[in-house]
Amino acid sequence: MSTGSHDAVEVIGAKRDKHELSDSQIEWVIDAYTKGTVADEQMSALAMAILLNGMDRRELTTWTHAMIASGERMDFSGLSRPTADKHSTGGVGDKVTLPLAPLVAACGVAVPQLSGRGLGHTGGTLDKLESIPGWRAQLSNDEMMRQLEEVGAVICAAGDGLAPADKKLYALRDVTGTVEAIPLIASSIMSKKIAEGTGALVLDVKVGTGAFMKDLARAHELAEVMVALGNDAGVKTYAAITDMSTPLGRTAGNAIEVTESVEVLAGGGPADVVELTLQLARDMLTGAGREGVDPADKLADGSAMDAWKAMIRAQDGDPDAELPVAKESHVVNAPSSGVLTRLDAMAVGLAAWRLGAGRARKEDPVQAGAGVVWHARPGDEVTEGSPLFTLLTDEPERFDRALESLEGGYDLAPTGTPFTPAPLIHDRLR
């Protein structure tokens, strides 16, 4: 098909033959694909050519800005405080957004956190929050602006108006084997985040068995590309490369992760979740020009918890309500005494998904109470017969497949075996 000064076959052929695409070719193909002039099969061919042959920084910047230009841009310049946002590439037990947004708000920086739902073994922030009675994910732009001014934090669903080209391309990549292309991952994430209009952005790029990126070098490459895209667009962008070979905290599910997040806001919670939440908060505050505020103080004095309750109430949720509890539970006991030396994030994530905490297709429902609780973390000593995991679901027929996921998902070494944990934060890019 052709329209204007270019046609799809020409653009596909150029990238297939390892040429750089011109700015006008990129702007044309994104616009034409968004409007339906370029067909899915043609964009599939181009995506595969990009996967195989890459893009340089100019191409990628132009591609990202063309995706932004396909929709609306939000503007928070009218707010009385600076803005900062965070994006995680997704993991298992990664509930950090929940305590992080109100914590940063308590430090005087507004957090417009547009989040998504879970798919496969990685959990979705909106699914977790929807386990709170009454809470709603859909807000109008006016509601969002008012909440940012009055409360300082919003976690909600992104509207259809932000980077609609990305929405089409994202669905296509999923079914054409092109999800792994770093230029397409980076432009997908950054087009939405730049269109969102925040002044500072912190990226949490996960690496390890339970992450999208399994390899540290590729995670580093993705982080560098996204930081460059953000800074080129005038958004102060930092990145942390964090471990996802072991799941975060002690829970993977929806309601159970909300409970753990509230424990963090109350000044407790698992050490790894607290460490990562505080580090990302400090980077967000630095990006927003508020380095002088220590977020740890806001956990200690209760103001982060106050901001959480105000944020949930503003979206019609009841922060004091009882959360859903799964109807059935199954305990997995330690087969022997020893030191837990490995707990595989992918195994735990798959088990939680099979118990009903996640979905296989985006239209599938999720169970609020389903998930996995692990009672030991790598480095902990366990005794034979003590609880290692508790599996939770409303449908007991799901237990068998979840147990299959956990087989081979952990290692026990003899008692007294020395253990050195992997670092939680591998690197930071500023």
Q: Which residues have CB under 8 Å from 148's CB, separation 6+?
A: 76, 79, 83, 110, 111, 112, 154
Amino acid identity for residue 299 in this structure: L
Q: For tokens 């900062």, what's the residue? A: 84
Q: For tokens 């305590």, what's the residue? A: 99
The span from the first CA to the last CA of the chain, in angstroms, equals 43
Q: If residue 35 lies in a helix (H) or strand (E), which one and from where to where? A: helix 23-35
CB 248 within 8 A of CB 94: yes
Q: Which residues have CB under 8 Å from 190's CB, separation 6+?
A: 64, 226, 229, 230, 233
The catalytic site residues sit at 87, 166, 173, 188, 192
Q: For tokens 């505050």, what's the residue? A: 285
Closest CA to 96 of 155, 162, 37: 155
* Cα 25 versus chain centre, distance: 31
416 sits in the region (left: phi over 0; alpha: psi -120 to 50; else beta) called: left
Helix, strand, coil abundance in the chain, percent, nearest 5: 45, 20, 40
The pairing of beta strand 410-413 with beta strand 338-343: antiparallel
CA distance 19 to 152: 46
The DSSP code sequence of 314-349 is HTT--TTSPPP--SEEEEEEPSS-EEEEEE-HHHHH
Sign of torsion, CA 317 269 189 283? positive
For the beta sheet containing 251-253, the strands, ordered from the edge strand earlier in sequence to the opposite edge, are 251-253, 371-374, 387-393, 328-333
Q: Which residues have CB under 8 Å from 242's CB, separation 6+?
A: 204, 205, 206, 207, 276, 424, 425, 426
Buried-state track 22-50, b at ≥16 Cβ within 10 A, e below 16: eeebbbbbbbbbbeebbeeebbbbbbbbb
Side-chain-side CA neighbours of 371 within 13 Å: the count stands at 27
**Backbone φ, ψ for residue 23 (5° rounding):** -55, -40
